[in-house]
Amino acid sequence: MFKSMIPNGNHSHIITNTIFKTFSRGKRTATTINAATQKIVNQLSALSASRKQPKLIRLCQEDLIKHRTIVNAWKVFKRQREQKRTAQLKKQYESIVNAMEDLKTSSPELFELASEKPKKAVLFPLEMRTPTDYPANTPWIYNYSPPAKFIKAKKPTTPESS
């Protein structure tokens, strides 16, 4: 295998299908710091800004250019799509305006009806119960009537009792 990577005559490029990495395995030693210290260390290291950054991808010159080209193309593509969309919307709007103008001349009553503004939007029901972290499955029982036994048990209160 090593012989295969050593070219005989032509040195300008390497004919090989193997990749070598020199490496040395570090000594593994038991951690001497206690659990509490380790916890603080972990917390501090989690706080460090550099740790939160995504890992920088190292690209060779060729791949960097490819990457930038792809980003540029994506930019151009998005711009074109957006331009197309705005052109479409503009056309739609113009045709609406034209139609309304026509309607104004042909039938003013229908125009009034068509240009009537929608009624006030229905707001969030104020009478509904306060939002909570764990709401009930049925938030409000509108037709609530207490069970009969509660009605029976209920006594009229008198001012004397207080």
The separation between CA 140 and the C-alpha centre of its own chain, rounded to angstroms, equals: 32
Query: How is residue 31 written in tokens?
Result: 């951690």
Q: Are 125 and 139 in contact (CB under 8 A)?
A: no
Q: How far is the CB of 143 from another protein (least distance, A)?
A: 50
Of 79-108, binders to another protein (CB under 8 A) are 80-81, 84
The separation between CA 151 and the C-alpha centre of its own chain, rounded to angstroms, equals: 51
7 binds another protein (CB under 8 A): yes
56 binds another protein (CB under 8 A): no
Q: How far is the CB of 9 from another protein (least distance, A)?
A: 9
Q: How far is the CB of 66 from another protein (least distance, A)?
A: 4
Give the interface segment with another protein, choosing from 34-42, 73-81, 134-142, 150-158 (CB under 8 A): 73-81
Is 33 strand, coil or helix? coil
Is 29 strand, coil or helix? coil
